[in-house]
């Protein structure tokens, strides 16, 4: 395994891991703010307990998301210094904006919200609850803008060997960014919804606080279903974007070696992962690939082999086809699971309409495991989009192997990978245990005096940690 | 012009980081010393509970603004300090999760484990960052492309090590001064004792570093003036700390000291960003490492709009949580949120 592989493994591991906690935080922060608003409007002690209960899950997720986010901020310089020198003029700006506009907001108001019970007035406390999802949502905006520039660079010029920003507006109106950001927002909604639904279903099966958990199950179900159904439209747009800006990525995702028109969609195939490996197609749907890739019934989709030849003419000799097996299966894991989740959501809506949601044993059993699916879908999604850009680190401008640190050595990456492996798995296991334990413990008991003193004259902070 | 403005902004973020996170590093490092029982330790931890996370963002913004405004600086510096920065990240990760994890189980071994993580993380972080920042001025073997050519030993420059040690000592002093303003009960008394004991060693370290820094820096009268700020402030901190004046006076003095020392480092560095010991011609400077004029203009607009807002709501947070933290009877039984 060479330096490039090690550095890529490190970046992929830390990013995928970080992104387990990011969408949970974004989604839960939004739904906790909704719950907090419900409590603000109705003022019942039960709603306060519900808000604090799901807020507790959010806090565990944030604590891991924040610290692993530090790694993300540093590692462009650590392992990818030539990349950083090349793109810093364009790529650094959204990162710095992310810190100033989003991280400060999220972190500062998180402290205010967490320690604000009984200290802030009810109205101000509600505002702090909404600042957390706002900050989290803004942070995703800037980082997806930066990532989209790597997928489809625009608003730049090449000057003295580096990319220089010429239009910040172009960076934020990149179609890859706009649809990519919507995609991530919906991912957050799916994660948050699934979390509410999973936890609520677990409690409904045990008949603990059925009134409260039926309400949160419905909120979670709505978020999950809206997120998943809208994702089909956004995902479709992303496919069409890829056809325009990164044709190699979509061709690889379909294991489509030769140009076709109209193109059928391969539901399931064996082989076909390289040009001289003819696939055995087991299920095909006519015209569907044309529809997904171009939005038209008979659209043309370029094949990997002709695209590779075009790239060789433009960029010189080399292999420009990403790993087709990873592309093909990550796309299918994501799309097939999303279909199942959407059907599951419709099943839930039907039960809700029949007034059986809170008592349907089979549905609640499935629902209590549904939280697994967003992790699989989002990980597959990142493989699809990042592995699909290979061998480029910035599409068409810089190859991944040219972005490595000039001073890098395999031995120091091995050491840091070891640190990451031990640290991340320990923290991941602990965070999972703590979240499960918190979720199973159910609604917290309220100190009898705490609710009354919300607007008291001389509030003192309580021992929260 | 704009590259210099951004050098000042980067220096401002690093200064703000140490002024703010400095005391919560100190509280984290000292919480098992000022607190013997679990409740006393929790009093110490909760004095920084609402603010530590927002303080840490200053580090993120300092790094990101280096990336945006001086890509070569970010790239060379971060790749050169590869392993120390990974240990820093590990320290910050352990420290960061310890706040949330520590209270989740009541078992004494669990609490002791995460208290240890908080302590070790809070000690290592300022030490490692101090060594790294000191290396900027002490110089590293960097070649013509900006790549580090040395080994781990080259990163341990004598000046860097001393700066790291001094910043650690200052964080401890700053943290104990903060505790004298916010803590109550036995933790408060022990913080006062600690503050008195830390005064003289810290003042000595600061004065030595300030002199060494002036010697290392590019000759210029204004570095002498800048060096006077932390030097005078640390003496003031020692005087107020030892004489038992109101806590706020000492905290004010430690704030000026730690902020002044970090600002002095950057003043001594300017217009260089990273000294190359291989050949002075390879040194990274404000002129040869900055981002393009347009990119800096965009960033300037963003910073001018957002930094005052951030300062405003962070200041408000400190106002909201201005009262002392105490362990009332309700807290001894209340579960963490």
For an interface test with B, the pick among A32, A407, A460 (most B C-beta atoms closer than 10 Å) comes out as: A407
Cβ–Cβ below 8 Å for B57 and A465? no
Helix (H, G, I), strand (E, B), or coil: what is residue A187?
helix
Helices (H), A384-444: 410-441
pLDDT in tens, B160-190: 999 999 999 999 999 999 999 999 999 999 9
pLDDT in tens, B6-64: 999 999 999 999 999 999 999 999 999 999 999 999 999 999 999 999 999 999 999 99
The pTM (predicted TM-score) of the whole model is 0.93
B60 neighbourhood in chain A, CB within 8 Å: 69-70, 73, 99, 103
Instruction: Assess whether pLDDT exceeds 70 at residue B330.
Output: no
Q: In whole angstroms, how large is the CA radius of gyration of chain B? A: 20
For an interface test with B, the pick among A49, A93, A447 (most B C-beta atoms closer than 10 Å) comes out as: A93
Helix (H, G, I), strand (E, B), or coil: what is residue A157?
strand
Distance in angstroms (rounded) separating the CA atoms of residues A267 and A285? 7
Q: Contact A213/A221 with Cβ under 8 angstroms?
A: no
B327 neighbourhood in chain A, CB within 8 Å: 463
Instruction: Assess whether pLDDT exceeds 70 at residue B336.
Output: no
Cβ–Cβ below 8 Å for B292 and A89? yes
At residue B328 the predicted structure's pLDDT band, cuts being 50, 70 and 90, is low
Instruction: Assess whether pLDDT exceeds 90 at residue B224.
Output: no
Q: What is the pLDDT of residue A458?
A: 46
Least CB-CB distance to B63: which of A73, A459, A461?
A73
How many residue contacts between A and B have a Cβ separation below 8 Å? 270
A88 neighbourhood in chain B, CB within 8 Å: 67-68, 70-72, 74-75, 291
Report the half-sphere exposure of A176 (CA within 13 A, side-chain side). Answer: 22
Q: What is the pLDDT of residue B264?
A: 94
Instruction: Assess whether pLDDT exceeds 70 at residue B332.
Output: no
Q: What is the pLDDT of residue A409?
A: 86
For an interface test with A, the pick among B75, B102, B315 (most A C-beta atoms closer than 10 Å) comes out as: B75
SS (H, E, C) chain B: CHHHHHHHHHHHHHHHHHHHHHHHHHHHHHHHHHCCCHHHHHHHHHHHCCCHHHHHHHHHHHHHHHHHHCHHHHHHHHHHCHHHHHHHHHHHHHHHHHHHHHCCCCCHHHHHHHHHHHHHHHHHHHHHHHHHHHHHHHCECECCCCCECCCHHHHCCHHHHHHHHHHHHHHHHHHHHHHHHHCCHHHHHHHHHHHHHHHHHHHHHHHHHHHHHHHHCCCCHHHHHHHHHHHHHHHHHHHHHHCCCCHHHHHHHHHHHHHHHHHHHHHHHCCEEECECCCHHHCEEHHHHCCCHHHHHHHHHHHHHHHHHHHHHHHHHHHHCCCCCCCCCCCCCCCCC
Q: What is the pLDDT of residue B75?
A: 94
pLDDT in tens, B72-91: 999 999 999 999 999 999 99
pLDDT in tens, B85-129: 999 999 999 999 999 999 999 899 999 999 999 999 999 999 999
Least CB-CB distance to B93: which of A96, A168, A423?
A423
From first to last of its 465 residues, what are the pLDDT tens digits of chain A? 789 999 999 999 999 999 999 999 999 999 999 999 999 999 899 999 999 999 999 999 999 999 999 999 999 999 999 999 999 999 999 999 999 999 999 999 999 999 998 899 999 999 999 999 999 999 999 999 999 999 999 999 999 899 999 999 999 999 999 999 999 999 999 999 999 999 999 999 999 899 999 999 999 999 999 999 999 999 989 988 988 899 999 999 999 999 998 999 999 988 889 888 888 888 889 999 998 888 888 999 999 999 999 999 999 999 999 999 999 999 999 999 999 999 999 999 999 999 998 889 999 999 999 999 999 999 999 999 999 999 999 999 999 999 998 888 888 999 999 999 999 999 999 999 999 999 999 898 876 544 444 434 444 556 788
The predicted complex's ipTM stands at 0.92
Q: What is the pLDDT of residue A447?
A: 60
Helix (H, G, I), strand (E, B), or coil: what is residue A296?
coil
Q: What is the pLDDT of residue A337?
A: 96
A89–chain B nearest CA distance, Å: 5
Q: What angle do CA A11, A13, A16 make, to 5 degrees?
A: 100
Cβ–Cβ below 8 Å for B320 and A120? yes
Cβ–Cβ below 8 Å for B101 and A87? no
Cβ–Cβ below 8 Å for A168 and B54? no
Q: What is the mean pLDDT of chain B?
A: 92
Distance in angstroms (rounded) separating the CA atoms of residues B266 and B269? 5
Q: What is the pLDDT of residue A272?
A: 87
Q: What is the mean pLDDT of residues B123-143?
A: 95
B42–chain A nearest CA distance, Å: 7
């Amino acid at each position: 395994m060479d330096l490039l592989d090690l550095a890529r493994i490190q970046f992929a591991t830390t990013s995928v891991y970080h992104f387990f906690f990011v969408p949970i935080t974004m989604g839960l922060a939004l739904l906790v703010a909704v719950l907090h608003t419900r409590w603000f409007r109705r003022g019942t002690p039960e709603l306060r307990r519900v808000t604090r209960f799901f807020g507790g899950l959010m806090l565990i997720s944030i604590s891991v998301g924040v610290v692993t986010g530090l790694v993300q901020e540093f590692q462009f310089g650590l392992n990818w210094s030539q990349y950083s020198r090349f793109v810093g003029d364009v790529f650094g700006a959204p990162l710095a904006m992310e810190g100033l506009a989003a991280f400060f907001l999220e972190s500062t108001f998180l402290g205010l919200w967490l320690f604000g019970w009984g200290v802030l007035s009810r109205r101000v406390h509600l505002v702090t609850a909404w600042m957390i999802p706002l900050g989290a949502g803004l942070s995703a905006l800037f980082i997806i803008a930066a990532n989209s520039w790597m997928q489809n660079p625009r608003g730049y010029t090449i000057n003295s060997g580096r990319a220089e920003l010429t239009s910040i507006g172009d960076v934020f109106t990149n179609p890859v960014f706009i649809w990519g950001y919507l995609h991530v927002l919906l991912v957050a909604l799916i994660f948050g919804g699934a979390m509410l639904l999973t936890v609520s279903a677990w409690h409904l099966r045990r008949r603990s606080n059925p009134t409260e958990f039926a309400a949160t199950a419905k909120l979670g179900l709505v978020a999950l279903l809206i997120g998943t159904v809208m994702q089909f439209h956004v995902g479709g747009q992303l496919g069409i974007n890829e056809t325009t800006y990164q044709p190699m990525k979509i061709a690889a995702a379909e294991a489509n070696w030769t140009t076709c028109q109209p193109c059928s969609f391969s539901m399931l195939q064996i082989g076909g992962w390289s040009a001289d490996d003819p696939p055995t197609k087991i299920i095909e749907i006519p015209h569907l690939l044309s529809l997904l890739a171009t939005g038209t019934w008979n659209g043309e989709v370029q094949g990997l082999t002709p695209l590779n030849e075009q790239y060789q003419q433009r960029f010189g000799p080399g292999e420009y086809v990403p790993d087709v097996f990873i592309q093909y299966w990550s796309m299918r894991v994501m799309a097939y699971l999303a279909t199942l989740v959407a059907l599951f959501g419709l099943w839930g809506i039907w039960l809700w309409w029949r007034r059986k949601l809170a008592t349907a044993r089979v549905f609640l059993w499935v629902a209590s495991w549904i939280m697994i699916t967003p992790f699989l879908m989002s990980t597959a999604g990142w493989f699809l989009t990042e592995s699909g850009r290979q061998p480029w680190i910035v599409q068409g401008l810089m190859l991944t192997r040219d972005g490595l640190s000039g001073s890098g050595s395999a031995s120091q990456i091995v050491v840091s990978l070891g640190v990451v492996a031990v640290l991340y798995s320990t923290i991941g296991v602990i965070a999972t245990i703590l979240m499960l334990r918190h979720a199973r413990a159910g609604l917290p008991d309220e100190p009898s005096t705490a609710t009354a003193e919300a607007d008291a004259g001389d509030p003192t902070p309580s021992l929260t940690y | 012009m704009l590259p210099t403005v951004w050098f000042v902004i980067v220096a401002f973020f690093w200064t703000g980081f140490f002024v703010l996170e400095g005391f919560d590093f100190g509280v984290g490092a000292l919480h098992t010393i000022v607190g013997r029982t679990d409740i006393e330790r929790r009093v110490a931890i909760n004095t920084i509970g609402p603010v530590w996370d927002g303080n840490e963002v200053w580090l993120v913004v300092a790094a990101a603004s280096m990336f945006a405004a001086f890509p070569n600086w970010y790239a060379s510096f971060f790749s050169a300090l590869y392993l120390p920065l990974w240990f820093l990240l590990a320290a910050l990760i352990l420290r960061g999760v310890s706040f949330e994890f520590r209270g989740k189980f009541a078992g004494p071994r669990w609490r002791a484990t995460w208290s240890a993580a908080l302590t070790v993380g809070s000690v290592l972080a300022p030490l490692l960052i101090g060594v790294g920042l000191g290396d900027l001025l002490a110089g590293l073997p960097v070649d013509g492309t900006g790549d580090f050519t040395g080994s781990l030993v080259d990163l341990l420059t004598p000046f860097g090590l001393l700066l790291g040690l001094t910043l650690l000592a200052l964080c401890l002093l700053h943290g104990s001064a903060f505790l004298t303003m916010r803590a109550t009960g036995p933790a408060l008394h022990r913080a006062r004792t600690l503050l008195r004991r830390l005064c003289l060693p810290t003042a000595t370290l600061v004065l030595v570093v300030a002199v060494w820094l002036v010697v290392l820096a590019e000759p210029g009268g204004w570095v002498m003036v800048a060096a006077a700020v932390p030097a005078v402030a640390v003496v003031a901190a020692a005087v107020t700390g030892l004489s038992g004046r109101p806590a706020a006076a000492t905290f004010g003095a430690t704030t000026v000291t730690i902020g002044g020392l970090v600002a002095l480092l950057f003043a001594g560095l300017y217009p260089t960003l990273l000294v190359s010991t291989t050949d002075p011609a390879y040194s990274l400077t404000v002129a040869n490492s900055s981002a393009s004029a347009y990119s800096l203009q965009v960033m300037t607009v963003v910073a001018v709009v957002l930094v005052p807002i951030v300062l405003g709501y962070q200041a408000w947070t400190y106002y909201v949580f201005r009262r002392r933290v105490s362990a009332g009877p309700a807290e001894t039984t209340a579960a963490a949120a």
